[in-house]
Structure 1
Amino acid sequence: MYVGKCLQIIIALVCVFAAQMSFAECSNDTLRIRHDRGTVKFSVELAQSPQEHAVGLMNRESMPSGHGMLFLYPTPRPVHFWMRNTFIPLDILFIDATGVIAKVHHNATPLDETPIPSDAMIQYVLEINAGLAKKYRISKGAQIQHPLILTTPVWPCH
């Protein structure tokens, strides 16, 4: 009887731990990218308001590897990004409403004010350190998982 009770407690703890792990995998500060060669995870800051969109990663000297900024728009739209007052070279991933990468702009040049267009209707943009898209083989068609991708996501959070 004692062994049975211990086993029940262990099973309950494993279930709680698994549920917490599942929840932790889909949090606002974590984004996953899935493609045909695997999955990569980024810690993200969110830019949701027009003011946050305008500032983005401006005036920062560095960003840790594996980190990024996720820009969220209320509806799909064409967007243009630039690198004004941005000192970090970036890869810019333009993502549609379902969480599919529509375009990757590699190695945006710091301080360059040339517009970088999305070339499509997008709802999300992820900025990561330049070179990471190539390093992790992230390209058009890869899928994003994040709890704020709400319009029929191709890779939903559970």
Structure 2
Amino acid sequence: MKLSVLSFAFVLAAQPLWATCAEDKVTIKGDFGQASFTVEIADDNAERAEGLMFVEEMPTFSGMLFVYDRAQPVSFWMKNTLIPLDMLFVAPDGEVLRIHENAIPGDLTPIPGGDGVQMVLEINGGMASRLGISVGDVLQHPSFGPEAIMACVQDMHG
């Protein structure tokens, strides 16, 4: 039994990273290894403005991916947000540019992401540190174009 479990684990580990690409999934890869999060997408002004406001709890490997039309300076705040969040500010190629950990629920202090941000991934507060996610790690999601560091490969059979 141990051998078959190990074989299964090896097969999973051997799968190409791009095989996990889906609209509701973000994969992060770095020195820590890799982790996947089930995400909701906020890609218009109304969805981005609401974000995770009024959410009372979020499953461990869940989050919200904020998608902008182009790279730009962005700033967030925690108005009406009930849970602490980590914010990963991401370049158009998927590289993590900045991480703000444990944003305080309800705090109105602006949290700047810096210039050149096209995506922001919000996950539960403390997750980035717990997993070892750091600046320079790379995100993979279909919203990143073909120039992304870890671009999604299109299914040629579909």
Could you state the TM-score of these two structures normalised by the residue count of structure 2? 0.84
Other-structure match for 1:59: 54
Per-residue deviation, 1:80: 0.4
Matches within 5 A, 1:1-158: 25-150=20-145, 152-158=147-153
Per-residue deviation, 1:23: 7.6
Instruction: Return 5+ residue gaps in structure 1 as ranges.
Output: 1-20
SS of the equivalent of 1:121 reads strand
SS of the equivalent of 1:119 reads strand
Provide the rounded CA distance (Å) in 2 between the counterparts of 1:140 and 1:51. Answer: 28
Instruction: Return 5+ residue gaps in structure 2 as ranges.
Output: 1-15, 154-158
Change (3 A) 1:85 1:38: same
Provide the rounded CA distance (Å) in 1 between the counterparts of 2:70 and 2:49. Answer: 17
Does 52-61 or 145-154 show the bigger shift? 145-154
Provide the rounded CA distance (Å) in 2 between the counterparts of 1:53 and 1:144. Answer: 19
Runs of 4+ more than 4 Å apart = 21-24
Note the alpha carbon deviations across 1:33-87, whole angstroms, 9 max, x for none: 0001200000000000100000000011111110000000000000000000000
Provide the rounded CA distance (Å) in 2 between the counterparts of 1:64 and 1:152. Answer: 31
SS of the equivalent of 2:128 reads helix
Identity of paired residues, percent?
Answer: 44
**Which has the higher Rg, Structure 1 or Structure 2?**
1
Other-structure match for 2:12: none
Per-residue deviation, 1:24: 6.0
Contact 1:93 1:125 in 2 (8 A): yes
Contact 1:102 1:120 in 2 (8 A): no
Contact 2:56 2:83 in 1 (8 A): yes
Could you state the TM-score of these two structures normalised by the residue count of structure 1? 0.84
